[in-house]
Structures are given as C-alpha cells and as structure tokens.
Amino acid sequence: MRFAPITDRLADLGGAKWEIHVLAKQMLAAGEDLIQLTIGEPDVPTPAALTAAAKAAIDAGRLGYCNGRGETDLLNALAARYSTRTGRTIGTDQIIALPGTQTALYAVMMALASTGDEVLVGDPMYATYEGIVSSTGATVVPVPLRPEHGFRMQAADVAARITPRTRVLFLNSPHNPTGAVLRAEDIAALGALAIQHDLWIVSDEVYEELVFDGTRFASPFDNPDLAERTVVTASISKSHAAPGFRSGWCVGSPAFSARLLPVAETMLFGNQPFIADMTALAVSQPSPVAAGMASRFARRAALIHARLNGVNGLRVHQPEAGMFAVVDIRATGLSGNDFARRLLAEERLAVMPGESFGTSLAGWLRVSLTQKDELIDEACTRIARLAARQLEKAA
C-alpha cells in the first residue's frame, strides 16, 4: 500500500525535537521528582466567566452546525477588535474562525504556497512551522535571527534569501522561542521587500497580548501599505489561558478571505457555536488574565537574567514578550541537546534544547517561564551547577 508524499514530508518533523520533553513526562509519570520547564502552558486556569459562557451556550443548545466562516457574533466581535486596532474598518468578510492558530496557519499556508515555492521563516522558529510549510509542498528558507539584533528579523537577511520562487514571508512577533518583538520600523523595512518582490506576509500573532512592559506590539496588518498582502493568525489560547478550546482565526483582505473560505470549508465547515459564543465574549473585553501572565513571565525572565547572565560563561537573552527565555550555553562546549540531556539525567531539570527550534539556536536552551518563581530560581541553580561542572572538566 502506498501513502501520499505529505506523510513522508511530515514524518521526520515531530519526534526528535520533543525527545527531552517526552522523556521528562515519562519520568514524572513514573513518580520521579523533577522540574519541568519544557513547554509553555498558561500558568492560570481559563477565566471562570469564559468557561461559564461555554457551559451556558451548551445548555442553551448551541450545538448545531455553523456556516463555513464562523458564527456571526464572533465575526462581529473580531471585526470590531481589529477595526479598533488598525484604525480601519475591518469587515466580517475579512475573518474566518478556525480551531486555533495552528489550524489557521495550516489553512492559510495551503492557500498561499505549493510545490516549488519558497517560504522565508525566521530561524529559530516555533516547532510546527516546518511542517506547516512543507505540508503545502513548499520549502522553508530559514532566515537567521541573530542575538546581536535582539533576534529581530533583519531586512538585509531577508533580501539575501529572496529568489524568484519566494512567495511568503512568515513572521512571528512576539516570537517563540526568543520573545523578540518586531518594531514598527522593522516591519516597514521587511514590508518594503514584500512589496518590491510581491510577497505575502503571514503574521502569527498568538502572543500579541503577552508583551512585557516597555515594549510595544506592532503588526504588518496595522500598516495600511501592507494590509492587503498580510494575513494575521491568532487565538485565545495564550491571551485567555484557553488552549484546550482550540479557538482561533485569521484576518486578511476580503479578496484573500474569499479565496481561503472554500479551503476552510473543505477542512472543517465552520466552528462550534458554543465555543464561538465564549470566544466572542473573550475578544470583546480586555483579557482578565493576560496582563498578569505578562508581568509574571517578565519577572521570571528577569530572575533568570539576574541569576545566570555572566555566570559560568552563560548568557541570558532578555525576552520582550511570551512564555520563554533563551540561555546561551555555548561557553560550556556542549551542544544544547547534550546540555539538556545531562540537565535531565544529572539535575532532574527538563528544558528544551535550542536545536529543536533551528540551527540558529544551536548551543542554547529554551526555558519556560510558566512555573512558580521558586522553581525557576531552583532551575537556575541547577543550570549554573551543570555549567560549572562542565567548565571544571574542560579546564
């Protein structure tokens, strides 16, 4: 029996990247005592008002089929939200509700790229991006994101990689794993290239509401010169601590949405009315949990910086947003993979190796900020201890 080539293209993308995380989960299930800082889940439950709204909608029988684009109240709520954000009138014909940013990205990329095309993606990148692009048959062209530029994508690095096959510039700001936030000037420079080479811009904005104090979020969709070629994807997973609801959307031009609608209808045909009701409520008001998460994650990132930066050769990059901090361990002479494996075995601490996110983060670790301060503090002690042992051995 034969399988379609997409199964080959996706086969190697999952497992190996998550080895440490899977191992840590097995150790925890076996009752072992360890600190797990591999993945980022919101550190608070979904707000009670939202779960109550979903339950009330179920009780009210909001369980029928929806139209293919999404429930009207949700589309209206999102249109109002993006109209306020952009200062332009965004219509419901520009929005499609989809189950989470992940599905939205998959559908959007299906509509924009195919075999032979190239998609420019910042490296390091969120672990599923390679699969999203290669599902379409297109090729990922990594654009190095450099610590000396705060991991913000530089127009010169993009320009050097544009070819006649380039179709899409795939942005993620705030960025996972580095917590970098593109400035309006960065976006203007990247956007000028997109205009010059007629590229689409896909903008994953799932961390929009987790920007730390002192940094301003900016989006290519808010720039009127770029709006027509930009598609935004987002969800309530992070902003409302509600990843399990799988409730997201994409916003683009009316022409783009008209093209995407049949793709979305073919995949799903509409969202779930009770989840749409709860999401409409969520996006109509300021999130009751986002500001608290952002301030706790900023505090924990500052703690990691204070505890580890300059200690035993370690360097800590200060994130500007999101749920993670990245630590440069190259001075120890170990790869991120080896350091993370030894941390788990010798120190009972699970973090992600930078290599799981791309070659630009080789020799780094990604540390989740979603556990309590005491655990983050103890994790720093363990990271510093392994680095010290490693340096002694090398001396």
Ligand X SMILES: Cc1ncc(COP(=O)(O)O)c(C=O)c1O
Nearer to ligand X, 215 or 335 (CB): 215
CB-CB neighbours of 162 under 10 Å:
18
Residue type for position 222: D
The candidate with the shortest Cα–Cα distance to 106, out of 91, 119, 94, 116, is 119
Q: Work out how close the CB of 282 gets to ligand X at its nearest, in angstroms, rounded to a whole number.
A: 13
Q: Are 110 and 88 in contact (CB under 8 A)?
A: no
Positive/negative CA dihedral, 385, 386, 387, 390: positive
Q: Work out how close the CB of 249 gets to ligand X at its nearest, in angstroms, rounded to a whole number.
A: 10
Q: Are 96 and 250 in contact (CB under 8 A)?
A: yes
Point out which residues pair with 89 in neighbouring strands: none
Nearer to ligand X, 57 or 180 (CB): 180
Element (H, E) at 115: none
Q: Work out how close the CB of 102 gets to ligand X at its nearest, in angstroms, rounded to a whole number.
A: 3
Q: Work out how close the CB of 258 gets to ligand X at its nearest, in angstroms, rounded to a whole number.
A: 24
SS3 118: strand
Nearer to ligand X, 176 or 370 (CB): 176
| 19-29 helix and 336-347 helix, angle to the nearest 10 degrees | 10
Separation of alpha carbons 198 and 118, rounded Å: 13
Tokens of 260: 């995407």
Q: Which residues bind ligand X (CB under 6 A)?
A: 100-102, 126, 172, 176, 204, 206, 235, 237, 243, 248
Residue nearest to ligand X (CB): 100
Nearer to ligand X, 62 or 366 (CB): 366
Q: Work out how close the CB of 263 gets to ligand X at its nearest, in angstroms, rounded to a whole number.
A: 17
Q: Work out how close the CB of 40 gets to ligand X at its nearest, in angstroms, rounded to a whole number.
A: 6
The candidate with the shortest Cα–Cα distance to 350, out of 39, 124, 125, 44, is 39
Nearer to ligand X, 132 or 298 (CB): 132
Nearer to ligand X, 42 or 390 (CB): 42
Nearer to ligand X, 134 or 332 (CB): 134
Q: Work out how close the CB of 204 gets to ligand X at its nearest, in angstroms, rounded to a whole number.
A: 5
Separation of alpha carbons 253 and 140, rounded Å: 24
Q: Are 126 and 100 in contact (CB under 8 A)?
A: no
